[in-house]
Amino acid sequence: MRFSNLLAAGIVLLTASASLAQTPSYTNVGRTPTKEEIQAWDIAAGPDGKGLPPGHGTAKEGAPIYATKCASCHGPAGEGTPLGRRLVGSKADMWTLTTVQPLITIGSYWPFATTIWDYINRAMPRNQGGSLNANEVYALTAFILSKCGIIQEGDVVDAKTLPKVQMPNHNGFIPQRFEDIPDERKRGCRLGTCP
Ligand code: HEC
């Protein structure tokens, strides 16, 4: 009796795995994405401004949005907290970039203003990427640029003006000189600071 029960269970199992192993039919699986679905993925904005959508914002408009959606992690003035990096810095911090403890902020390091837009639009607030509308992202970009002393509080940031914003470290990126990397002395570096 027990044996036949086991046998019956075995037959059931065998039948189940045999049906799993059958090649499934792929008809009606997948479809052409809609225009809206492609647009939702195609969000990259480049340094020339290509890809930036219509919309606009000022630092003044960005301040209250920043306070409610960003300050908890990046600090009320963009100074950073243990939950989010420091965002605000300026030309005056750029000298640290060639030291062993560079102060990497948007103002002191980022070469393109459009990347701020792209990054916020794509990824912020953390774990809620894509939740902000274009005007909010423009306003937040303006807010950070203004806090870094790069634009004025009332300057309107949009697809036309943003690519024209000159970032302080725009020319700070040189092609890597691999041959120099292992030999800081040869490159004239002293106490971790390189010319
Ligand atoms: C829950 C915490 C949190 C919130 C809220 C948040 N951020 Fe962030 N943010 C982070 C963290 C963490 C990083 C670093 C991510 C990484 O390096 O992978 C980051 C990175 C960034 C960067 C890139 C900084 C750099 O130098 O690499 C920008 C710009 C930024 N956030 C802007 C914003 C803005 C604007 C908001 C509000 C809309 C916001 N963040 C809200 C946690 C947060």
User: Burial, 113: exposed, middle or buried (Cβ in 10 Å; 0-12, 13-18, 19+)?
Assistant: buried
pLDDT score at 180? 61
- Whole-angstrom CA distances from 130 to 123, 143, 161 are 7, 19, 22
Nearest CA to ligand 1 atom 10: 84
Pick the residue whose CA is nearest to atom 19 on ligand 1: 84
Q: Does ligand 1 come within 6 angstroms of the Cβ of 70?
A: yes
Q: How confident is the model at residue 11 (pLDDT cuts 50, 70, 90)?
A: very low
- Encoded tokens for 38: 């492609």
Average pLDDT score over residue span 68-72: 98
pLDDT band at 176 (very low <50, low <70, confident <90, very high): low
What is the C-alpha to C-alpha distance for residues 167 and 164, in angstroms, rounded to an integer?
9
Given a contact cutoff of 8 angstroms between Cβ atoms, the answer to whether 107 and 149 are in contact is yes
Under 8 Å between Cβ of 190 and 98? no
pLDDT greater than 90 at residue 67: yes
Q: How far is residue 190's CA from residue 195's CA, in Å, rounded to a whole number?
A: 9
163 lines ligand 1 (CB under 6 A): no
Distance 86 CA to ligand 1 centre (A): 9
- Of 65, 83, 121, 126, the residue with max ligand 1 atoms within 8 A of its CB, to mutate for a pocket test, comes to 126
Question: Greater confidence, 4 or 133?
Answer: 133
Indicate the pLDDT class of residue 178, thresholds 50, 70 and 90: low
Tell me the residue type at 153. Answer: E
pLDDT of residue 147: 97
| Mean of all residue pLDDT scores within the chain | 87
